Structure 1
């Protein structure tokens, strides 16, 4: 009976455009005004709020700023159609050749934009602006577009890199700065191509990919959905809603006790929750969680942090990323539905606190991408509770 009711709600909401799917609980907004005794050594808050302050931003900005022009070592992930397809990273990807691989370079650029928007007076603001202007020039983006238009590039960075490209496009689109608008226009042709890739691929994907690494379907849908909502791309948003419901609506009893896997930087269970909280109305989502992961609603819900044994190992350090990605999902739930999930904030804080001190000064295996995950988690922590 619950399943039938849930399906009815989901069908009804397709034609309803006004549902914001939020609680109406009053809550204290997140601010940068915090008491000194609440601070961890790295400037984070242990209780109700985690805050990324200017001092930490000045440290974090070094990671993407340094890596976007670091060409080697490099993992191209390229399918070669012939020997002429060989080339150095900067030749193949004139905009996104650094940071070890293409998707890391893309989200490093997102990190720079995000930090500059949050902290306009960041110490290296001029260096950041110059780096962004050089990378995201119209000429360089046309070079990236050319690579994606190759016959052998159809599955390149599907869908993890695609999702981060749209996240970067969204961040630029909402940057009220002449440079932001210039770079947004430069990037738009590539964003449009990625949207077309999603529209072509999603209807053909019969089964979701439920892993804790790059190819996770739910993660790719979540970031793409945010882009569609922010930019008013109704067709993409409706497609993602439909496919998310096709993939996940009937899921029960996610085996969260099996997590984490040894190389996970995403939680298969939580990423699914993250997309479903976006595409389902409030009551339908609550019923769905009751079937999928009911323990999440209990006030004493616990989830141990992912422990990293060797941060110089590029795979094992993934677990630091897992802690950050879990945290941003917990924050998202707590802010959207504070009555049901507000207790998850402290759990998110625990996950951030475990891994944050290891981000700055980490080896390149983690440093080239973990900064982004930390910034994204702390950006989610700063958001206000939905009214």
Structure 2
């Protein structure tokens, strides 16, 4: 009966296009220190948080700055239609050729924008601005579009890289800086192409992809949803809401004890929760969680951090990324619904505390992407509070 009631609620809400989530501003009195304290119910213990301050930002920014122009080693992920399709990474991807693969290059650029916005006094600010202008020129973006328009590139970076491209565009759109607006304009044609790809592809996807790596459907929906909400792209929003409910609304008893997989950097169960907290109103989401993962509401809920045995192995180091992605989902839940999920903030702190010390100075296998995951987790701890 509860499941029937939940589905009925969602159908009514979706037909009315739903209630838009209201955002609560956080007073930012000091952009040189962003911490993860706040908003837990009184009396609830919190693990010591990791603080992203200017000193740490100065260290973290070296990771994307050093990798966006590092062309080799490189994993192209390319399907060749003929021998003429061969080319060096910078020829195929004039904007996003570094950082080992295309999606890592995209989110490395996101990292640069995010850190510069959060810390205007960052030491390498001029180097950041120069790097962004060089990469995100109108000419380079047209080169990226040309690649996506190739016959065999229809599924290229679907939907993980697509999601990070929209996240980069969202970060540029909300940057009140003339250069940010210029680069946003340069990137917009590629963004529009990716949006269209989402709208065309999602209705054809009959079943969601429930894995802990790149192709996870829930992750791709979540970042696209944030972009669509920020830019008020109603067509994309409606597509994402409908498909998320089609895919996940009837899910029960997610086998979270099966996690993590050995190569996971995303949690299949938590990624699903992350999109559903966005597309469902409070009461419907609460009912859905009661069926999907009820233990999450337990104040004594525990989830052990994922342990990494070898950080020089490009697959095994994924588990550091899993700790960061779990953390940003826990922070999001705790911020949005502190009464039910405030206790998860302490768990998020534990996950970050385990993996954060290993980000700077890590081998290239992890260093080319883990900084982004750390930055995003700490950013989610501070912003996007919704009621």
TM-score, normalised via structure 2 length: 0.93
Quick check: 1:302–1:347 contact (8 Å CA) kept in 2? yes
Cα distance in 1, alignment partners of residues 309 and 97 from structure 2: 29
Q: Which residue of 1 aligns with 2:350?
A: 350
Tell me the residue number matched to 1:253: 253
CA shift for structure 1 position 19: 2.7
Matched residue of 2:52: which SS? coil
- How has the CA–CA distance of structure 1 residues 30 and 175 changed in structure 2, closer, same or farther, with 3 Å as cutoff? closer
> Match of 2:174?
174
> Could you say if the C-alpha distance between residues 210 and 18 of structure 1 is closer, same or farther in structure 2, counting changes exceeding 3 Å?
closer
1:241-280 to structure 2, matched below 5 A, reads: 241-280=241-280
Structure 1 contact 22–282 (Cα < 8 Å) conserved: no
- Say whether the 8 Å CA contact 1:30–1:382 is kept in structure 2: no
Map residues 1-387 of structure 1 onto 2, 5 A cutoff: 1-16=1-16, 19-20=19-20, 47=47, 49-383=49-383, 385-386=385-386
Per-residue CA shift, 1:63-89, capped at 9, x if unaligned? 000000000000000000011000000
Instruction: Pick closer, same or farther for the CA change 1:48–1:8 going to 2, 3 Å.
Output: farther
Answer yes or no: is the 8 Å Cα contact 1:67–1:99 preserved in 2. yes
Other structure's SS at 2:345 match: helix
> What CA distance in whole angstroms lies between the structure 1 residues aligned with 2:26 and 2:112?
29
* 1:384 Cα deviation after fit: 6.4
Equivalents in 2 of 1:28, 1:87: separation in Å? Answer: 47
Question: What does residue 42 of structure 1 align with?
Answer: none
Q: CA RMSD in A?
A: 2.0
SS, match of residue 9 in structure 2: helix
Question: What is the distance in 1 between the residues matched to 2:138 and 2:355?
Answer: 37
Residues 103 and 160 in structure 1, CA contact (< 8 A), matched pair in contact too = yes
SS for the counterpart of 1:108 is helix
Q: For each residue in 1:18-60, what CA deviation from the matched residue of structure 2 results, as whole angstroms up to 9, or x when unmatched?
A: 7355799xx99787699x9x9xxxxxxx747543100000000
- Structure 2 CA distance for partners of 1:132 and 1:30, relative to 1, 3 Å: closer
Q: Structure 2: how far apart are the matches of 1:48 and 1:28?
A: 21
Measure the CA separation in 1 of the matches of 2:126 and 2:208: 42
Query: Equivalents in 2 of 1:188, 1:23: separation in Å?
Result: 25
Distance apart, 1:290 and its partner CA:
0.1
Whole-Å Cα distance in 2 between the matches of residues 254 and 146 of structure 1? 41
> Unaligned stretches of 5+ in structure 2?
38-45
> 1 CA distance for matches of 2:23 and 2:218?
23
Taking the aligned partners of 1:10 and 1:22, their CA distance within structure 2 comes to 18
Report the secondary structure of 1:59's partner residue: helix
Measured in 2, the distance between the counterparts of 1:303 and 1:81 equals 45
C-alpha spacing 1:189/1:210, structure 2 compared with 1 (3 Å)? same
Q: Are the equivalent residues in 1 in contact too, given 2:26–2:383 (CA < 8 A)?
A: no
C-alpha deviations, 1:183-238, integer Å up to 9, x for none? 00000000000001001100000000000000000000000000000011000001
Distance 1:8 1:21 in 2: 20
1:311–1:365 Cα contact (<8 Å) kept: yes
Quick check: 2:334–2:345 contact (8 Å CA) kept in 1?
yes
Query: Deviation at 1:12?
Result: 1.8
Output one character per residue of 1:97-131: Cα deviation in whole Å (capped at 9) or x when no partner. Answer: 00000000000000000000000110000000000
Equivalences, count: 376
Distance in 1 (CA, whole Å) between partners of 2:323 and 2:315 is 14
Alpha-carbon distance change, 300 to 29 in structure 1, aligned in 2, over 3 angstroms: farther
Hey, what's the Cα distance between the residues in 2 that align with 1:122 and 1:375?
14
